[in-house]
Structure 1
Amino acid sequence: MIDAVTTDAVTLSSLAGRHLDLVSAPFTLPRSRVLVFRADDGGVRVHTSEYEKRLSDCRVLDAVRVTDAAGRVLPVADVQPHRIAFGVHTDAPAASLTFDGPGALSIGGAEGAQMVLVHPDGRQERHELSATGIRIRIGADRTVVVETGHHAAALDACERQWLDWFARCPRVRDDLQPMTAFCWWVLGANIVELPALGDARAVVPSKIGYVGLWQWDAYFIAVGLRHGAPELAREQLDIAFRFPCDDGQLPDVVHEQGILASSDDLPESDRATLRRAGSQIADPSKPVPLTKPPLAAWALRKVLDVQDDPAWAREQLGRVIRSQDWWFASSDLDGDGMPEYGHPYSSGLDDSPIFDGPIPTAAPDLGAYLVCQDREIAALLDRYEPDAETERFLARAERTQTLLDGMWDDEAGRFLARGAGEDIRSDTVVGLMPLRTGSLPDDVRDALRAAIDDPARFALEWGMPTVAASDPDFSPERMWRGPIWINTSALVAEGLEASGYPERARELREQTVRLVVHGGGPHEYYNPRTGLKAERATTAFGWSAALFIDLAVALS
């Protein structure tokens, strides 16, 4: 007997399947490193997903074709999270492909159908299909072993795994449920195992090109996961916080081969480039620290609000405090009390025009994040360690707020970043982040609200660009130089709410979810003129999916 939960999960799985085109959204399985894409000849091709490697370097099979008894190629007829159907009719496909565990595919079909495998070296092999099926085992070194399978069992197990995942999908407003289902699929599909960390599960930004746990991504992804999989959300933060440097700095990336915390963790060819682009105040012969903006306490609090765990909270809070202290002790490179970004990578907005000038860069977004994080830390200590002293965090937040207020330029009517002490006049989204503190002077707060409402600057039809449309550096396609990103839009919406504009915050959230629906999915970033995926943006992107879910829940 099928219960109501299973029926609901089947519906949500089917909604997600509408987006599985095998181009922007591949066929894959949680914890698997195998990806299946549509091939030009009507079949599919198979790749592995590997850290810092392109798909073209991870070819497993250039084609998997299904043919009928006459040798005609049977096209892909339908894709659902648990199987690809080949043939003409989706209700009675000639053959189907599914996963048989994370490292193998299973294909079965009607008598007379055949499977043709085309290897990267051009070698072809042909196998007769049957209901029993064939198992294609894929090694970590991309080797292929073909063996007898148990297709019906594999199909059932794969479907059950996905239905269990969709049973946890948040239920939201009817108009947002189809995209929420697809975004929930994205988060499940982007789960990978990191064998070096035991059985750790990282929800990566994308299995296409971003196979690691980036610190900032982990925060945003955890915020979305908490609505249906809070234990997996906690696991993302646990991994992000697990490998602090001796001075408390959190690494930029945790990946299957180690961590990325400084230029010394990169190949030598990259180190020289990073050091040349690095700090003009710090010693260029020393490693350049690489991290991400301080949103750790923000993410920790949001996850704990859904599933409380005082012991775990206290453990993680200690690491968050050390990382916050690192910013002031080791990243205030000019000693003026306001920490700087020592390298663009550490900002999360690597290509923003605020980094076109000299570095290190004192940026208003960093100042705002630091103010908010010190206040978050104090609130978390009150909650989990009521005897702890919180005054130093609150006092530091006030000092940082005063320095942040000093970055306001009355003549320009906006917050200005400073590169090595020089004003950077680019009009970018980082200048809106001080709204998050909720403690700006009224005239400054109102000026930022006016900027967000100005169609010549940030009030574009499809959302808030990362560089004002009136700025000479604005480009609708270049990463962080104009396209809309879901994370910056969500963060500014929180800033609007914190600064006393709840209705405007809701409008921005509605506009942001409308963008994702219009754009066809949770892409990495969007052209603000068309509302569609920017040409070079990654598809099925983790933090866009997670934040869409978080916004959909809030709006519902």
Structure 2
Amino acid sequence: MAGRRVTGSLAAGVRAGAERDARLRRLALATLDANWEHDHTVPSRTLYPHQWSWDSAFIAVGLAHVRPDRAWRELRTLFAAQWVDGRVPHIVFNPALRVGSYFPGPEFWDSGRAEGAPAAPTSGIVQPPVHAPAAWLVHRRAPSEASVAALRRLYPRLVAQQRYLTGRRDVGGGGLAAIVHPWESGLDNSPAWDTPLAAVPADESVMRAYRRHDTAHADAAHRPTDLDYARYVALVDSYRTGRYRDEALLGRHPFLVECPLVNAALGVSEYALARIATVVGADPCPHRDRAARITEALVTRLWDPVAGTFRPRDVRTDRLVGPRTVLGLLPLALPDLPEPQVRAVLAEACSPRFGLAARMDRPLPTLDRTAPGFEPLRYWRGPSWVNTGWLLWQGLRTHRRADLAAGLRESLLDLVDGAGCHEYFHPDTGAGLGSPAFSWTAALVLDALAEG
């Protein structure tokens, strides 16, 4: 009898899991279909009505499982707006939307006056280069003659993106790319940027001249502050004044930081490009060599041996800055990360600060939940995000920690099953925050369902 009860409970658990997964798949697919905009996917119909760079990469990964042709079109549309110097802008604006419908919009960036900008209106900054791994995953998830042709078209553009970041953006001279704005990290208002941002002169009264789009659609208490935005505006003003040129940045731009995520993505991208090169008939060896050099530079410049985590480096002061954030965990995605760093990052992730476990009782936060500045509602200052969880999940799988990877995957899926495809989530209760129909959440759920 006891054996039959155990068998019955296991069968019920399997059925419940299958029902959850089917429910999530329907929700994710409906979200992506609703956010499709003729040649790209908007992150959200309310908060983000244009095309965002790293969003499109994550979205393509998910679409590969259900709409592979659309996944390739997503990437193709984004890279059609690549600048001559290789940068992939963090926003490609939809010219059909009225002027003033989004801030900061195309009139604010004024990219058309910059040398080498595309005809399409774009921003002048970038986001983490997760596109080469995304392209490789799209091909691997749905291999075909069409996917090989798509890789062949995209490969030189991906190489140019890497060349831009490892060349023009190596402001510190140590082999890593520097970001010129917190938005380039993807983690806009993370406490990781508080120290270098504090050195940026700004007065929040400047925001009276602008109408913030985000606080019209989300609770202001969940978003960056007006002082944050005043500094963001000041940084764009500085970069735009130089027509988005990268020469002599150290002497004229007030924010230059080497970000662990951006540079880990650079290294992972070189490994992805090596794989792509073997498919398209190019030489993979230079990519592997560059990946090894980036990994070495990241450990040399961004590893904090005392804290046992990676931290950003402020290039202007040549110091590691910021509290313990999820950024410090994401270099785990590098396959050749040295074993001492792998062990330390895993220990950090599994500590009470982040709570990674084979069975997680709370979602993964973006900031050390024991830190005094932990804010469970405010954007990147504590809330849980599916994309950073997915990136860590990839790293755990890379380093063969199947137990922890399974625990994180279940946590992410349960989070979305409980609250929907929200932009981000309360790191204690799991309540949905931000946009209620967010594309990368939907896309990465599809990938986690298919690859678990």
TM-score, with length taken from structure 2: 0.74
Question: Alpha-carbon deviation of 1:438?
Answer: 2.1
Question: Alpha-carbon deviation of 1:422?
Answer: 2.0
Residues 418-473 of structure 1: CA deviation (Å, up to 9, x unaligned): 11222113101111111101222222211211222122334473211011102232
Question: Alpha-carbon deviation of 1:183?
Answer: 1.4
What is the letter of the counterpart of residue 247 of structure 1?
Answer: D
CA distance in 1, matches of 2:181, 2:41: 25
Counterpart for residue 267 of structure 1:
107
Query: Are residue 544 (structure 1) and residue 441 (structure 2) matched?
Result: yes
Question: Alpha-carbon deviation of 1:192?
Answer: 1.8
Counterpart for residue 181 of structure 1:
26
- Which residue of 155, 159, 179 maps to 1:341? 179
Query: Are residue 428 (structure 1) and residue 328 (structure 2) matched?
Result: no
1:320-399 counterparts in 2 under 5 A?
A: 320-358=158-196, 359-385=255-281, 388-399=282-293
Counterpart for residue 348 of structure 2:
451
Counterpart for residue 509 of structure 1:
409
CA distance in 1, matches of 2:263, 2:430: 30
CA distance in 1, matches of 2:96, 2:272: 30
CA distance in 1, matches of 2:277, 2:322: 38
Query: Are residue 463 (structure 1) and residue 359 (structure 2) matched?
Result: no
What is the letter of the counterpart of residue 525 of structure 1?
Answer: Y
Counterpart for residue 414 of structure 1:
309
Question: Alpha-carbon deviation of 1:264?
Answer: 11
Residues 484-523 of structure 1: CA deviation (Å, up to 9, x unaligned): 000000110110111221221111001110111122x010
Counterpart for residue 86 of structure 2:
248
- Which residue of 294, 297, 301 maps to 1:400? 294
CA distance in 1, matches of 2:394, 2:451: 11
Question: Which residues of structure 1 form unaligned runs of 5+?
Answer: 1-171, 194-200, 272-286
- Greater share of strand residues, 1 or 2? 1
- Which residue of 428, 446, 449 maps to 1:529? 428
Contact 2:308 2:348 in 1 (8 A): no
CA distance in 2, matches of 1:456, 1:495: 18
Question: Alpha-carbon deviation of 1:258?
Answer: 8.9
CA distance in 2, matches of 1:225, 1:313: 16
- Greater share of helix residues, 1 or 2? 2
- Which residue of 125, 128, 134 maps to 1:290? 125
Contact 1:288 1:343 in 2 (8 A): no
- Which residue of 24, 48, 72 maps to 1:210? 48
> Secondary structure at 1:494's aligned position in 2?
helix
CA distance in 1, matches of 2:85, 2:167: 9
Counterpart for residue 301 of structure 1:
136
> Secondary structure at 1:357's aligned position in 2?
helix
Larger radius of gyration: 1
CA distance in 2, matches of 1:456, 1:336: 30
Structure 1 residues 362 and 266, CA, compared in 2 at 3 Å: closer, same or farther? same
Question: Which residues of structure 2 form unaligned runs of 5+?
Answer: 1-16, 98-102, 111-121, 197-254
Question: Alpha-carbon deviation of 1:366?
Answer: 1.7
CA distance in 1, matches of 2:56, 2:96: 16
Contact 1:220 1:299 in 2 (8 A): yes
Question: Alpha-carbon deviation of 1:180?
Answer: 1.6
- Which residue of 331, 334, 341 maps to 1:437? 334
Residues 290-318 of structure 1: CA deviation (Å, up to 9, x unaligned): 11111111110111121433222111111
Question: Larger relative contact order (C-alpha < 8 A, sep ≥ 6)?
Answer: 2
1:67-146 counterparts in 2 under 5 A?
A: none
Question: Alpha-carbon deviation of 1:356?
Answer: 1.2
Structure 1 residues 389 and 438, CA, compared in 2 at 3 Å: closer, same or farther? closer
CA distance in 1, matches of 2:73, 2:138: 11
Question: Alpha-carbon deviation of 1:545?
Answer: 0.8
Structure 1 residues 456 and 354, CA, compared in 2 at 3 Å: closer, same or farther? closer
1:218-237 counterparts in 2 under 5 A?
A: 218-237=56-75
Residues 520-548 of structure 1: CA deviation (Å, up to 9, x unaligned): x01000001111113xx111111101111
CA distance in 2, matches of 1:181, 1:410: 45
CA distance in 1, matches of 2:49, 2:376: 27
CA distance in 1, matches of 2:61, 2:104: 31
Root mean square deviation of aligned Cα: 2.2
Contact 1:206 1:541 in 2 (8 A): yes
User: How many residue pairs are counted as aligned between the two chains?
Assistant: 353
> Secondary structure at 2:65's aligned position in 1?
coil
Question: Alpha-carbon deviation of 1:252?
Answer: 1.1
Contact 2:106 2:123 in 1 (8 A): no
What is the letter of the counterpart of residue 498 of structure 1?
Answer: T
Contact 1:433 1:495 in 2 (8 A): yes
Query: Are residue 192 (structure 1) and residue 37 (structure 2) matched?
Result: yes
